[in-house]
Amino acid sequence: MHDLKRKLKICKSVAWVTIKEYFAYRTHMLVSLFVGPVYFAVQYFIWGAVYRDGGAIAGIGYEQMIRYFGITALIGYLTWGSADWNLSMLVRTGRFLTFALRPLHHRFFALSQKIGHRSLAIFMEFLPSALLLIVIFKISLVPAHLGWFVISVILASLIHFFIAYCIGILSFWFVESNGLRMAYWLFDSIFAGFLIPLVFFPKWLQFIQFFLPFQYTAYVPAMVFIGEYQLGGYELSLPAIVGVQALAALVMLAISELMYRRAMKRFTAVGA
Amino acid sequence: MIIKINKLEKTFTTYKRGSGFKAALKSLIRREKVIIKAVDEISFEIPHGEICGLLGPNGAGKSTIIKMLCGALFPTGGEINVAGFNPAKERTRYVKEIGAVFGQKSQLIWDIPPVDSFSMNKAIYGIETAVFNERLAELTALLDVAEVINKPTRVLSLGERMKCEFIMAMLHNPKIVFLDEPTIGLDVIAKANIRDFITKMNKKGTTFILTTHDLEDVELLAGRIIIINHGKKVFDGSLEALKSELGRKKIVELKLLMAAEKIDIKGVSVSERTSRLELILEVDMDIISIGEFVSELSKQAEFTDISIKELPMDKIITAIYKKGSKA
Amino acid sequence: MEKFTKLYLKCIKIAIAGAMAYRLNFILSTLLATILNALFPLVTILIYNAGASFPGWGFHEVLLIQGIFLLTNSLAALMFDGVLWSSMSHIREGTFEIVLLKPLPPLSFLIATSFTPEIFGGVVAGVILFSVSLSFTGIAGAIAIFQFLVMFAGGFSVITGLYMMMAAMSFKWVGNSRLTEIFDSIMTFGKYPASIFPSAIRGIATFIIPVAMIGFFPASALLGRAEGVMFLAVIPCLLFMLLGIWIYNKMIRLYEGVGG
């Protein structure tokens, strides 16, 4: 109990410091208020043209499709993070040492940082963009089930964090991890679901996504928002898919802990 | 004793790597192992309340020792005990007891004022608010940075930043503080401030272990000096002991009235001729006293200027390094 | 001009040699960039695979638009991406004076010295996508090729203008690495058949920020579907580039005035 209270205190403090840190660059976040709606507008017109005769494509109707792109854009603001880059910078500059000498798990520090950064994003990116989508494009942003959606977004944000953290840990072995990060970014941009709903992919590729972490960061919460989830021919209820998502979060947590331990072992062995 | 290490060892295994594409490919298949002994059976004990300087040329193993003492590096062999802990094994509990400043690795957050970074460490170390406030006031007053800590770190001068690094490392009142090159790159005034601060904190009971290249740091701060070369301890003792290591010698700078006279005094050797009229002599005080030397000298030569100095530290240390390499 | 060309060629050689020093890394990152760029028409592919389409445009015709878009974009990036990033970092670090001290116009100096060979991957992907889709659609004739070349140059000048404006903005919006996102998003309007956008947006994309020239217009020309309006749009393209260069140079003069 005492430990939890202490951890909460640390988290609050680190998050608050991070907010102050990024507040200096708050205008950078405003870029999102331009870019987000522009990309959404392009999607809006593309799908308007594609759906010109009505009906459904890959089992998705026009209305749903537009809501899908609206909500994935917004989810992105809630889940995005740069733990991979931050960690690899710490390792490359040797500043990771100063964390090894402080009484806390660096992953906890990094997560607290993300919580701070995203809290700022809620006000600078998420809320204004949501308002723009509602006012300009008249999109309904009421989730099918608020509770499951909130849980799903939190899980998505956590999973995104664990993946990024694992990529960051790789810099303990590879000094130049840019290529790796690029490869991750490539898969993420295709299979997270930001480009297009995953049901557009071939069935086998859809099925594989259950065992990769990417869909859990965007596609799953977007479908939970819409209220019906299906992929690879499987239709799952909201509690079921959120359960799977929670499992994915646990697996990613375990992988990140395992990698962290290996990295620490290496770090304390060679001091690199 | 706050630090006890016994036959401490650290070896690194690296792989030989040729340059170029072919060698890189080849190294994927078969790699040649190279074992480097960075720290080789070093033992010492440091009592509570000491300032101990670790000296040595680049790559001698100083940083490796400091990192092992901090718990950031696992020793390959030997025993290590700091403040009752085995640092690397009990790291999470141990690090609360220590502070560390690494000259090149900042703990401060670049874009915000140091005071915010401090409050973060307050939470991380779980420092009570009242204790924190008192401690912060004390440290800022000692370092004269009460106003500086409210400006963004990025606009601070190097000296101001280093002072804030010290505060960051000492807010939780560590028993022992490790400093890796704490005065590197600082100007004379900032160096003096930092040294003054270290001395004052030491008087209040903090033990300091520092590595440095700056011999002034050693002369002004360290009561105890340990010199490392090629992973081995080559000297361990007080500043006085270090100075008498090469015998009790003094340096005499001489300006002659007339050139090229031979100076032949027992226990005196010419170490350098800077010009026709200028000489530097080394006088062995075990053989001849300064008084005898001066009276003897005035018989042999006429001089316009004379100055008598201590043997410079760098000379002593270079000699010890050389001795260490031969051993 | 001759001096500049000589310098540029020399710098390209140096840049390539530099990249080659880490051959494995260079090959890998170029390969990855190629794959990344090759996936650029993914959404279009998936749409047509699902049996849907853009009205009036066949699959390979849309791919042709995107192939030209990618090719123009990466050719321009090869030249100007470095200018943008080195302007940005010089301004952030407060070292732009170094550029001003060189015996060359600042813009020429930056173009010459910041060639980015890593972008080759995009050029390769662009060439592949362009030629593959062209092999399916065919060319409407010799005149079409001429028309295409004119519009291709127009598209190139639009991107040049965009790069200049980005670099100019970085003087005011110091350290904002997200600037490029703004321009990337605007350019997206050139990636698809303009007929899918409402007329107001089409007007803007033709005459004000003529991004339609980056992909859609030249593709239309090759397919023999060029309209008079498209040729007219080459003029705003050139104006756009000149405007970009003018703003950039103005920013440099402002910077000189303030002295950093």
Whether the CB of B92 is below 8 Å from some CB of chain A: the reply is yes
Model confidence at A272, in pLDDT bands (50, 70, 90)? low
Check if the beta carbon of residue C196 is closer than 8 Å to that of residue C211. Answer: no
Which residue of chain A has the CA closest to C183?
Answer: A35
Residue contact C50–A58, C-beta within 8 A: yes
Give the three-class secondary structure for B327. coil
Q: What is the pLDDT of residues B279-312, one digit of tens each?
A: 888 888 888 888 888 888 888 878 888 888 887 7
Question: With contact defined as beta carbons under 8 Å apart, do A163 and A24 qualify?
Answer: no
Q: Are residues B184 and B50 in the same domain?
A: yes
Is there a contact between C119 and C85 (Cβ–Cβ < 8 Å)?
A: no
Bridge partners of residue B79, in order along the sequence: B6
Considering the domain architecture, whether residues B194 and B256 belong to the same structural domain is answered as no
Please state, in angstroms and as integers, the Cα–Cα distance from residue C233 to each residue in B165, C57, C150, C222, following that order.
60, 22, 11, 16
Q: Could you give the residue ranges of the DSSP H alpha helices within chain B?
A: 21-29, 62-70, 91-94, 114-124, 129-143, 158-170, 188-203, 215-221, 239-243, 290-300, 313-326
Mean of pLDDT values over B154-177: 93
pLDDT at B263 over 80: no
**Interface probe with B: pick from A2, A3, A7, A101, most Cβ of B within 10 Å:** A101
Kind of pairing between the strands at B51-55 and B224-229: parallel
Whether C179 and chain A come into contact, CB under 8 Å, resolves to: yes
| Residue whose C-alpha is closest to residue B72's, from B92, B97, B47, B50 | B92
Q: What is the pLDDT of residue B294?
A: 84
pLDDT at B25 over 70: no
Q: Do B98 and A21 touch (CB under 8 A)?
A: no
DSSP A147: H
- Residue B128 domain-assigned? yes
Provide, as residue numbers in chain A, all residues whose Cβ is less than 8 Å from the Cβ of B109: 17, 21
Chain A environment of B125 (Cβ under 8 Å): 102-103
* Residue A101 C-alpha, separation from nearest chain C C-alpha, in angstroms: 31
pLDDT score, position B324 = 60
Give the domain range for residue C12: 2-258
Token pair listed for B35: 């074992």
The dihedrals phi and psi of C107, each to the nearest 5 degrees, come to -65, -45
Residue pair A46/C192 in contact (Cβ under 8 Å)? The answer is: yes
Of A151-155, A192-196, B206-210, which one has max mean pLDDT? Answer: A151-155
Which of A22, A50, A82 is best to mutate for the C interface (most C CBs within 10 A)? A50
Q: Specify if B168 maps to a domain.
A: yes
Predicted local distance difference test score (pLDDT) of residue B20:
57
Say what the pLDDT of residue A237 is.
Answer: 96
**In b/e form, how buried is each residue of A145-166, taking b as 16+ CB within 10 angstroms?**
eeebbebbbbbbbbbbbbbbbb
Yes or no, beta carbons of A27 and C176 under 8 Å apart: yes
pLDDT for B26: 63
Would you state the pLDDT for residue B29?
63
Angle between helices B114-124 and B158-170 (to 10 degrees): 20
- pLDDT of C172 > 70? The answer is yes
Q: Does B260 have pLDDT greater than 70? A: no
Give the number of domains in chain C. 1
Which of B11, B69, B85, B112 to mutate to test binding with chain A, by most A CBs within 10 Å of its CB? B112
- pLDDT of A18-34, one tens digit each? 999 988 888 888 888 99
| Mean pLDDT, range B42-68, rounded to an integer | 90
Residue of B nearest to A15 (CA): B120
pLDDT surpassing 80 at residue A178: no
- Is the pLDDT reported for residue B31 higher than 80? no
Confidence at residue A169, expressed as pLDDT on a 0 to 100 scale: 93
User: A201 to chain C: which residues are within 8 Å by CB?
Assistant: 46
- Whether B221 and B83 map to the same domain: the answer is yes
C46/A38 touch (CB, cutoff 8 Å), yes or no: no
Q: Please tell me the predicted confidence (pLDDT) of residue A54.
A: 85
Residue B178 confidence (pLDDT) above 70: yes
Whether B109 contacts chain A with CB within 8 A: yes
Residue C199 to chain A, least CA–CA distance (Å):
12
Q: How far is B309 from chain A (nearest CA, A)?
A: 42
pLDDT tens digits, B201-249: 999 999 999 998 888 888 888 889 999 888 888 889 888 888 777 777 8
Interface of C with B in 22-51 (CB under 8 A): 23-24
What is the pLDDT averaged over residues A219-232?
A: 95
Q: How close is the nearest chain A Cα to the Cα of B118, in Å?
A: 10
Write down the residue that tokens 């791919």 correspond to.
C63
The pLDDT of residue B322 is above 90: no
CB-CB neighbors (< 8 A) of C24 in chain B: 21, 24
Q: Which residues of A touch C50 (CB under 8 A)?
A: 57-58, 200
pLDDT tens digits, one per residue of C49-64: 999 999 999 999 999 9
Residues B172, B71 within the same domain? yes
For residue B106, pLDDT beyond 60 = yes
Decide if B99 is inside a domain.
Answer: yes
User: B327 pLDDT exceeds 50?
Assistant: no
Q: Which of residues 248-307 of B touch A (CB under 8 A)?
A: none
User: Worst-scoring range by mean pLDDT, A26-35, A60-69, A82-91, C152-161?
Assistant: A26-35
**More confident of the two residues B258 and A3:** A3
Distances (CA, A) of B299 to A95, B265, B267, B296: 63, 10, 16, 5
| Least Cα separation, residue A152 to chain C (angstroms) | 26
d(C-alpha A109, C-alpha B100), whole Å: 19
Neighbours of chain B (3+ CB pairs under 8 A): A, C
Query: Structural domain of residue B215, as residue ranges?
Result: 3-243
Å between A61 CA and nearest CA of chain B: 47
pLDDT confidence of residue B269: 80
Q: Residues B294, B145: one domain?
A: no
| Contact flag B111-A97 (C-beta cutoff 8 Å) | no
Which residue from B203, B162, B193 is spatially nearest to B179, judged by alpha carbons?
B162
CB B179 within 8 A of CB B211: yes
With CA atoms as reference, the chain B residue closest to A96 would be B105
User: pLDDT tens digits, residue range C66-111?
Assistant: 999 999 999 999 889 888 988 888 888 778 888 888 888 888 888 8
Which CATH number does the domain housing residue B286 bear? 3.30.70
Distance CA A14, CA B124 (A): 9
Chains A, C: CB pairs < 8 Å: 83
pLDDT of residue C260: 43
Contact B50, B207 (CB under 8 A): yes
| Residue B151 within any structural domain of the chain | yes
The domain total for chain B is: 2
Confidence of residue A8 (pLDDT cuts 50, 70, 90): very high
- Test A200 with C49 for CB contact under 8 angstroms: yes
Shared-domain flag, residues B45 and B184 = yes
Mean pLDDT, rounded, for B182-207: 91
* B315 domain-assigned: no
Task: Kindly state the average pLDDT of the residues B114-124.
Answer: 94
In terms of domains, do B212 and B97 share one?
yes
Q: Which of A31, A179, A200 sits opposite C46 (nearest CB)?
A: A200
Total structural domains within chain A: 1
pLDDT score at C129: 93
User: Are residue B153 and residue B266 in the same domain, yes or no?
Assistant: no
Query: In this structure, is residue B316 part of a structural domain?
Result: no
- For residue B114, the chain A residues in CB contact (below 8 A) are none
Which residue, among B89, B95, B124, B168, would best test binding to A if mutated, counting the most A CBs under 10 Å from its CB?
B124
B32 by Cβ neighbours in 10 Å (0-12 / 13-18 / 19+) ranks as exposed
Residue type, A17: V
The fraction of chain A above a pLDDT of 70, given in percent, is 97
Does any domain span residue B297? yes
What mean pLDDT do residues B33-41 have?
Answer: 86
Q: What is the CATH number of the domain that holds B236?
A: 3.40.50.300
- CB neighbours of residue A127 within 10 Å: 13
CA distance to partner chain C, nearest, from residue A148 (Å): 29
For every residue of chain C, DSSP letters joined together read -HHHHHHHHHHHHHHHHHHHHTHHHHHHHHHHHHHHHHTTTHHHHHHHHTT--BTTB-HHHHHHHHHHHHHHHHHHHHHHHHHHHHHHHHHHHT-THHHHTSSS-HHHHHHHHT--GGGHHHHHHHHHHHHHHHHHH----HHHHHHHHHHHHHHHHHHHHHHHHHHHHHHHSTT-TTHHHHHHHHHGGGSS-GGGS-HHHHHIIIIIS-GGGGTHHHHHHHTT---HHHHHTHHHHHHHHHHHHHHHHHHHHHHHHHT-
Inter-chain contact B126–A9, Cβ cutoff 8 Å? yes
pLDDT tens digits along C181-232: 999 999 999 999 999 999 999 999 999 999 999 999 999 999 999 888 889 9
Lowest mean pLDDT, pick from A63-77, B34-48, B175-189, C27-41: C27-41
The end-to-end CA distance of chain A, in Å, is 36
Dist. CA C244–CA C251, nearest whole Å: 11
More confident residue, B51 or B255: B51
What is the domain extent for residue A62?
2-270
Same domain, B277 and B231: no
Position B18 in a domain: yes
Of B203, B219, B243, the last residue of a domain is B243
Q: Could you read off the pLDDT of C2-59 as tens digits, one per residue?
A: 777 888 888 888 877 777 766 676 777 778 778 878 788 999 999 999 999 999 999 9
